């Protein structure tokens, strides 16, 4: 049955609600931002409380990184299941300037994230990546970084009440 089909859905103020009163359309994307800090191997950058689909995952260099040949990779560790890399390994982040961004591509789990030294980048995970209840962690090689980084995630809840913190 499609959204809007009687008797299950009710249309009100531009949104559809199911018979339990849960909004089933018009749900806006939500955003979570991590604290700023040095990236370390195994570091948790986000925790999903419930299942979500994320559309963008971006890391931004806030203070210049050191000269060490540091790379990062992103991994999801679900509450039920096993850790899975959701990106390949980035190219080196050695000596990147503040404003550099790293963006998860999201077309294949083996694809390396894109590094943009201009601070501007394209949204890459347009199809979305299912993020079950659990954590997103960093795999940092030759780390930790010496620069500080902040991480951003844009997501949609896949179930009522799901959030990322």
pLDDT, tens only, 92-126: 999 999 999 999 988 889 999 999 999 888 776 65
Q: What residue ranges define each of the domains in the chain, with the CATH number in brackets?
A: 28-164 (2.60.120)
Structure tokens at 137: 């962690």
Largest CA-CA distance found in the chain, in angstroms, rounded: 62
Distance CA 157, CA 48 (A): 10
Both structure tokens of 104 = 């998860």
Query: What's the pLDDT tens digit per position in 129-158?
Result: 999 999 999 999 987 889 999 999 999 898
How much is the pTM? 0.82
What 3-state DSSP class applies to 57? Answer: strand
């Amino acid at each position: 049955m499609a959204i809007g089909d009687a008797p299950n859905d009710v249309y009100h103020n531009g949104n559809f609600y199911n018979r339990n009163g849960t909004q089933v359309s018009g749900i806006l994307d939500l955003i979570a931002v991590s604290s700023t800090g040095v990236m370390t191997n195994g570091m948790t950058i986000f925790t999903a409380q419930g299942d979500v689909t994320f559309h963008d995952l971006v890391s931004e260099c806030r203070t210049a990184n050191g000269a060490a040949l540091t790379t990062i990779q992103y991994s999801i560790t679900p509450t039920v299941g096993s850790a899975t890399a959701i990106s390949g390994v980035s190219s080196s982040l050695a000596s990147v300037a503040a404003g550099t961004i790293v963006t998860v591509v999201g077309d294949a789990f083996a694809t390396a994230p894109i590094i943009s030294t201009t601070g501007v980048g394209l949204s890459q995970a347009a199809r979305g990546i299912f993020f079950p209840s659990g954590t997103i962690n960093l795999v940092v090689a030759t780390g930790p970084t010496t620069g500080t980084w902040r991480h951003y995630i844009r997501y949609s809840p896949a179930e009522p009440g799901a959030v990322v913190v």
